[in-house]
Amino acid sequence: MKGNLENKRVAIVGGGPGGLTLARLLQLKGIDVKVYERDINRDVRVQGATLDLHFESGLKVMNAADLMDAFKANYRPGADKGRIVDTQAKIIHDDHEKESNEDFGDERFRPEIDRGPLRNLLLNSLQPDTVVWDSQFKSMLQAGDKWKLEFKNGTIATADIVIGADGANSKIRPYITPTKPFYSGVTIIQGNVPDSETSAPGIHQLLKGGKIYAYDGEKFLHVSSKGDGSLDFYVSCKKDEHWIQTSGINFSDKTQVIAWFKEEFSKWDSLWLELPENVSLPLLLRPQYCMPLDQSWNTLPNLTILGDAAHPMPPSGEGVNLAMLDALELSECLTNENFKDMQTAIATYEKQMLVRAANEARDSLEMTEWMHSEGAVAKLVQMFN
Binding residues for NADPH: 45
Residue 282 preceded by cis peptide, ω within 30 = yes
Q: What is the pLDDT of residue 99?
A: 72
Reported as a single tens digit per residue, the pLDDT across 303-344 is 999 999 999 998 877 789 999 999 999 999 999 999 999 999
CA–CA dist 79, 100 (Å, integer): 13
Q: Which domains does the chain have, with CATH numbers?
A: 3-76+114-180+292-371 (3.50.50.60), 183-289 (3.30.9.30)
The sign of the dihedral angle between the CA atoms of 205, 211, 214, 218 is positive
Bridge partners (DSSP) of residue 236 are 188, 220
The answer to whether the beta carbons of residues 84 and 92 sit under 8 Å apart is yes
**Residues of the chain with confidence (pLDDT) below 50:** none
Binding-site residues, in ranges, read 45, 52, 115, 308
User: What's the pLDDT at 19?
Assistant: 98
Mark the binding-site residues for FAD, compressed into ranges: 52, 115, 308
Contacts (Cβ under 8 Å, ≥6 apart) of 337: 1, 3
Global pTM value:
0.95
CA torsion, points 13, 15, 18, 24, in degrees to nearest 10? 100
